[in-house]
Structure 1
Amino acid sequence: MRDVRDSLRARLAQLARDPAVAQTVRSTAAATISYVVALQLSSEPAPLTAPLTALLVVQVTLYSTLTTGVRRVNSVVAGVLLAIGFSALVGLTWWSLGLIILASLIVGRIVRVSEFVPEVAISAMLVLGVTRVGDTAWDRVLETLIGAVVGLLFNFLFVPPVWVGTAGDSIQDLARRMRRLLLSIGEQLRSPTPVERAAAHLHEARRLDNDIADVDAALRQAEDSLRLNPRVKEGLLHRVVLRTGLDTLEICAVVLRVLARTFTDLAKKREEEALFPHEVAVAVEELLAHVADTLVSFAVLVTTQVSESAEAAEARLAGELAAAAVKREEVAQLLLRDIQRHPSQWQLQGALLTEIDRILDELDTEHRSRRLMEELDRVTREQHERYPRLAAFGKWILGKRRRRAAD
């Protein structure tokens, strides 16, 4: 019985830390509070605009909440003002409805409310369709402001969760899918490989593009959750580490697709025999296994935040890279002998080594460190150019701290 209670307690604690659960609770609470406040301040019997606005404003990150709240309030106010102007001139007819929709969509583009352009037209139609246009219009503005303010205050008091862990899990899952594909390709080398089977691996490699798009979406959400978040001290570094890590895996996925194409072409040339002699096939399979493990070690490294764990992950990656490099040289010598049996196919075997080299080079720790520093410099330079006053203020604060430390 105690084991059941401990298991249930652990499960509840895990759910409480889940960003999706935290977001659900936050959205529900913010919408309910905004409705209670609107009941006290609005003359409408059911001021549902307030909880609707709060629900939409309380996004998954503090950064998107601030930007979304401002745009949503602008869209509602613009729609209400249009409805007030139209109500003073014409009533509600089919042509006036079409005209106000057209005007609202145009005004929404002008005031730059992004995804809330339809909200301008929705607000205008809802207000135009009532009898007491003036009272209803300002009540709708008031409810929208209540929902937006409650949503913003709620996110300041209860900071949204950081989605770095979710993005990290997505990156590791992508690396593991690439690993499984490489291992599956290696398993086909010792026996005659039907072209259809090799082509199936090629199609699977192409489907990695969809996986990368999903990981990119999760990473964008994580990047937003790090912006303006008081719980994060090194948000820029975390964003750049994850982004450059995904960029590297995306390049490796492209090379993996080319590698699968090379094996498919070899299968077409050698339909009646194995792709390689037994000794060569075993060596190539082991090489692909080393590369596969290197991909996972790299993903673990870029998603590890604790310094000690990161050092262990870096050591593991360095060991995998060294083992892959040794095996690569062995495969190169064996392929050189195999070329003498099939001299007309030396391009495909040379392409195989070139593609392996490209993946290992992308995963190399020195290459990654250099790329990471370049990306940090680029992002920092862009921020200074975009916000020169903020950069100057930051330099002033840093200089003041240094003088105080020197004294």
Structure 2
Amino acid sequence: MWHESSLFTRAVRRRRDPVAVQALRSTAAAVISYVIALRLSSEPAPLTAPLTALLVVQVTLYSTLTTGIRRVNSVVAGVLIAIGFSALVGLTWWSLGLIILASLIVGHLVRVDEFVPEVAISAMLVLGVTRVADTAWDRVLETLIGAAVGLLTNLLFAPPVWVGPAGEAITDLAGRMRTLLRHMGEHPAGPNGVEDAVARLHEARRLDNDIAHVDGALRQAEDSLRLNPRVREGLLFRLVLRTGLDTLEICAVVLRVACRTLTDLAKIRDEDPLFPPPLSHALREVFDHLAVAVDSFAGLITAQVSANAEEAEARLARELATARSSRDRLAGLLLEQVRAHPAQWQLHGALLADIDRVLDELGVEKRSERLMEELDRHSRARRERHPRMARLRGPLTPS
């Protein structure tokens, strides 16, 4: 029974995999566009239509729309350049160089971004045939067919919302940060203490790569929420995830600095224990509570149901309160340690400051403040982009 459930879970995940979804959608759009182009174009093999559909269809509706518009612009610009050159010169080595140069310049002028080479490719393909005018307009027609089919594919078959994979990536990142925090609470004495401290520092540095991976997944989720008919509050979802990742990124930087501080302390103490037993126990307790708090914070920002969000927020508040109590006990013990080793007061103070910064960043009030700031910033940007719409809404807004 468990085996069947595991197979079913893997099958569902595979079905929702972006690569599989992209392959099925692109294949269907390419075949449909080729069948339509066979009926409407005079070309015996109108492969431009399926090629355009293949390149236009993306995982998200937003990227499909933007990509389709840029690709149509690039092909039409290349065709028009080829028609102009064909009326003046034939195909020679110098005319080929001129048309490539002109196409690349025009591609930047019409702002087709990554499809600038497509302008030159379209111009060369059209210029290389004998019936330039007929072939040119057939190519434009096939491009429009492929782009239209690609757009309709995502309009009729709404692409999935990739909030789930982005949430899983954030949860995995929080899990690695939780593991790092638990490792930071371990302080063996002797030569291995320095080696372990250096290993924790490398572990903290590897979080940068993890954050880059999560950022890519989050960007895909943000695109899937734009212009998607399935989502009513796409902006709020995007901002909750984005501000949550920003908080985790700040915490990751602070933890890396704390690991650097622990490494410096380990090198100074050398053979001696890094901290006396009471202080070591208090520090481990603080890091353990911070580990649970990071995990609770990830659960809060990825919660999709309001009840789950409230439970995660309550759990986070309790864990942060306990962590602050442990932090206060740790501060008193660190003060005694500074009196015993006054030369190391800067490192001890830096470690306590790093703990305070993580506690502050994970706070519920801090998260709400950051989310409201982002909402206000997006509202101001929208009013600046559409001032007339803002003036129309103004009188309708209740006072």
Q: TM-score, normalised by structure 1?
A: 0.92
Contact 1:16–1:22 (8 Å) recurs in 2:
yes
Contact 1:23–1:161 (8 Å) recurs in 2:
no
Which residue is 1:214 aligned to? 213
Q: Does 1:338 align with 2:298?
A: no
In 1, the alpha carbon distance for the partners of 2:162 and 2:136 equals 38
SS at 2:185 equivalent: helix
Which residue is 2:55 aligned to? 56
Report Cα offsets for 1:180-228 as digits up to 9, x if no partner.
1222222235665443432232233223222222211211111111111
Aligned identity (percent) is 70
Contact 2:37–2:142 (8 Å) recurs in 1:
yes
Which residue is 1:27 aligned to? 26
Which residue is 1:166 aligned to? 165
Contact 2:286–2:323 (8 Å) recurs in 1:
yes
Which residue is 2:117 aligned to? 118
- Where does the alignment leave 5 or more consecutive residues of structure 1 unmatched? 403-407
In 1, the alpha carbon distance for the partners of 2:11 and 2:112 equals 39
Which residue is 2:99 aligned to? 100
In 1, the alpha carbon distance for the partners of 2:3 and 2:196 equals 47
RMSD: 2.1
Which residue is 2:185 aligned to? 186
The farther-off stretch of 379-388 and 185-194 is: 185-194
Q: Does 1:129 align with 2:131?
A: no
In 1, the alpha carbon distance for the partners of 2:81 and 2:320 equals 64
Measured at CA, do residues 216 and 394 of structure 1 come closer, stay the same or move farther in structure 2, by a change above 3 Å? farther
Q: Does 1:372 align with 2:371?
A: yes
In 1, the alpha carbon distance for the partners of 2:163 and 2:371 equals 18
Structure 2: which amino acid aligns with 1:236? L
- Where does the alignment leave 5 or more consecutive residues of structure 2 unmatched? none
Structure 1: which amino acid aligns with 2:126? V
Report Cα offsets for 1:104-155 as digits up to 9, x if no partner.
1110111111111111111112222223222222111111100101111111
- 1:16 deviation in Å? 3.4
Structure 1: which amino acid aligns with 2:109? I
Measured at CA, do residues 390 and 158 of structure 1 come closer, stay the same or move farther in structure 2, by a change above 3 Å? farther
In 2, the alpha carbon distance for the partners of 1:9 and 1:368 equals 37
Contact 1:49–1:140 (8 Å) recurs in 2:
yes
Measured at CA, do residues 378 and 282 of structure 1 come closer, stay the same or move farther in structure 2, by a change above 3 Å? same
- 1:34 deviation in Å? 0.8
Paired residues, number: 398
- 1:7 deviation in Å? 5.8
In 2, the alpha carbon distance for the partners of 1:217 and 1:89 equals 48
The farther-off stretch of 260-269 and 209-218 is: 209-218
Measured at CA, do residues 395 and 190 of structure 1 come closer, stay the same or move farther in structure 2, by a change above 3 Å? farther
Structure 2: which amino acid aligns with 1:172? T
Contact 2:34–2:50 (8 Å) recurs in 1:
yes
Measured at CA, do residues 288 and 5 of structure 1 come closer, stay the same or move farther in structure 2, by a change above 3 Å? closer
Q: TM-score, normalised by structure 2?
A: 0.94
Q: Does 1:146 align with 2:145?
A: yes
Contact 2:178–2:292 (8 Å) recurs in 1:
yes
In 1, the alpha carbon distance for the partners of 2:246 and 2:177 equals 14
